[in-house]
Amino acid sequence: MLQLVIGILILSAIGALLALLLEIANFYIADYGESHILINDEKDVVVEGGNPLLFSLMGEGIYIPSACGGKGTCSLCKVKVLEGGGPVLPTETPYLDRSELEGMVRLSCQVKVRNDLKIEVPEEIFLIKEFEVETMGLSDLTPDIRELCLKILAPEEGIRFKPGQYIQLEVPKYKGTKSPEYRAYSVSSSAEDRQAIELVITRVPEGAVTTYVHEHLKKGDQLLMTGPYGDFFLRESERDILFIATGSGLAPIKSILHQMEFRKTERKATLFFGDRRRYDLYYLEELKAFEESIPGFTFVPTLSRATEEDQWEGEKGRVTDLIEKHVPENASLDVYICGSPAMVDSCEEILEKKGIAIENIYYDKFE
Ligand SMILES: Cc1cc2nc3c(=O)[nH]c(=O)nc-3n(C[C@H](O)[C@H](O)[C@H](O)COP(=O)(O)OP(=O)(O)OC[C@H]3O[C@@H](n4cnc5c(N)ncnc54)[C@H](O)[C@@H]3O)c2cc1C
Ligand code: FES
């Protein structure tokens, strides 16, 4: 038995070594030359072979959504590869369901351009642009969350986005990284201002981009970003609205509230905004002020670990407790949830049990 286990271990080690050698050889020796990528049967771009499809397209000014910087963990970079993509990799299969596999959907960060490709992308991808921005302001909203104001330097006409959408911010290479890195951040400010945007960024320990923003970025620094991306935006309907946010998940919802204020929307809307302690909550005055400027809006903050020190007289418990307590069974609601994947999943589960129609629940998971 022991000999069998040792044999398997040796074989696995040899396999891993061969795979590593192949990758190294691929990197140093392989020369794929130029490849053509035919997009949507009409646009033909010529790229240097050997790079991931995601980055080859980016080099041509075609920005596919991606939140993880091409690490194969966010699954946002899906495109249809109709010809030339090679076999689906084990790194892709966990993120592709059966209908996507049958429909030739691939993770563009995992498909290497080794020959000519034929691909299909949604037309709105061509509206995504690159922007040069300047850091106008940085302020700490909580011990972990920093507000970042960015002025658009170019293109001159600024940015047009739907409130709730996100951009991808690139930070340069620094001590903690091997190359420039980019990540997704939802715009928290009003879409009426096309010359500047605000982001709220939670520090992630050892996180490439958040460490840069929290520890190295200075006023006046210039950065690149692309956008807008995403389908987390307000849908027109007659139903009441429930917004649910924790941490920096408030960002896209705040932008939607600015839109409702601007349009004087009369739909009944409630925001559950939760965190642990009083010092974790932010923008409380601005959110309270929306109750005056948006007819029908109610703001309900909640703390899950309030102590006497917090002198908190508001709701106590998690946002999920607020759903249990305040959302009636079978309510006719559009629900917009934003925050950590665990929080979004828990809310969705409780809402479904309460009979809220799943097709009326929209969310952005921040990881
Ligand atoms: C559509 C979308 C919108 C987003 N909007 C925002 C936003 O408005 N504000 C915001 O702060 N973030 C937002 N995010 C998350 C953001 O894109 C990054 O994932 C996050 O900032 C971490 O980046 P990083 O480079 O610092 O960490 P990375 O270098 O990517 O990660 C370092 C390590 O931390 C882990 N990790 C990553 N994120 C988290 C997390 N949130 N909590 C705990 N561990 C984590 C990773 O698995 C990894 O092991 C959004 C994500 C998506 C998909
Ligand atoms: S870019 Fe995140 S999975 Fe491809």
Residue nearest to atom 2 of ligand 2 (CA): 74
Index of the ligand 1 atom closest to the CA of residue 201: 11
**Domain assignment present for 180:** yes
Which of 229, 263, 286 is a domain's end point? 229
Q: Is the CB of 236 under 6 A from ligand 1?
A: no
> Which bound ligand lies closest to the C-alpha atom of 189?
1
Residue nearest to atom 3 of ligand 2 (CA): 72
d(CA 332, CA 351): 11
**Domain assignment present for 7:** no
d(CA 291, CA 183): 32
Index of the ligand 2 atom closest to the CA of residue 68: 2
- Beta carbons of 231 and 161 less than 8 angstroms apart: no
Tokens of 31: 């020369």
Residues 99 and 135 in one domain: no
Residues 309 and 291 in one domain: yes
Number of compact structural domains in the chain: 3
- Beta carbons of 86 and 113 less than 8 angstroms apart: no
Residues 249 and 347 in one domain: yes
Residues 360 and 262 in one domain: yes
The CATH number linked to 278 is: 3.40.50.80
Domain span holding position 213? 128-229
Residue 178 in 3-state DSSP? coil
Residue 93 in 3-state DSSP? helix
Look up tokens 């050892």; give the residue.
206
Residues 187 and 291 in one domain: no
Residues 173 and 245 in one domain: no
Index of the ligand 1 atom closest to the CA of residue 232: 1
**Domain assignment present for 200:** yes
- Beta carbons of 173 and 183 less than 8 angstroms apart: no
- Beta carbons of 77 and 57 less than 8 angstroms apart: no
Segments in the chain forming alpha helices (H) = 2-28, 53-59, 98-102, 208-211, 250-263, 284-293, 319-326, 341-353
The CATH number linked to 182 is: 2.40.30.10
Residue 321 in 3-state DSSP? helix
Residue nearest to atom 1 of ligand 2 (CA): 70
Which of 229, 250, 276 is a domain's end point? 229
Residues 135 and 40 in one domain: no
pLDDT of residue 8: 54
Residues 185 and 264 in one domain: no
Distance (Å) from CA 144 to ligand 1 centroid: 13
DSSP annotation of 78 reads E
- Beta carbons of 343 and 330 less than 8 angstroms apart: no
Please give the sequence-ordered ranges of beta strands (E in DSSP) within the chain, or none if there are none.
34-39, 43-48, 78-83, 105-107, 117-120, 129-140, 145-154, 166-171, 181-186, 196-202, 222-229, 240-246, 269-275, 297-303, 315-316, 333-339, 361-365
**Does 155 sit behind a cis peptide bond, omega within 30 degrees of 0 on the bond before it?**
yes
pLDDT in single tens digits along all 367 residues of the chain? 666 556 655 655 554 454 455 555 555 556 678 999 999 999 999 999 999 999 999 999 999 999 888 999 999 999 999 999 999 999 999 999 999 999 999 999 999 999 999 999 999 899 999 999 999 999 999 999 999 999 999 999 999 999 999 999 999 999 979 999 999 999 999 999 999 999 999 999 999 999 999 999 999 999 999 999 999 999 999 999 999 999 999 999 999 999 999 999 999 999 999 999 999 999 999 999 999 999 999 999 999 999 999 999 999 999 999 999 999 999 999 999 999 999 999 999 999 999 999 999 999 999 7
Which of 75, 100, 125 is a domain's end point? 125
d(CA 136, CA 151): 6
Residues 244 and 219 in one domain: no
Residue nearest to atom 33 of ligand 1 (CA): 207
**Domain assignment present for 169:** yes
d(CA 135, CA 137): 6
Bridge partner residues of 154 (DSSP): 132
**Domain assignment present for 2:** no
Residues 50 and 69 in one domain: yes
- Say what the pTM is: 0.88
d(CA 47, CA 56): 6
d(CA 79, CA 68): 16
**Domain assignment present for 276:** yes
Residues 147 and 201 in one domain: yes
Q: Is the CB of 74 under 6 A from ligand 2?
A: yes
pLDDT of residue 15: 47
**Domain assignment present for 24:** no
Residues 214 and 272 in one domain: no
d(CA 122, CA 259): 26
The CATH number linked to 53 is: 3.10.20.30
**Domain assignment present for 14:** no
- Beta carbons of 150 and 135 less than 8 angstroms apart: yes
Look up tokens 């934003």; give the residue.
338
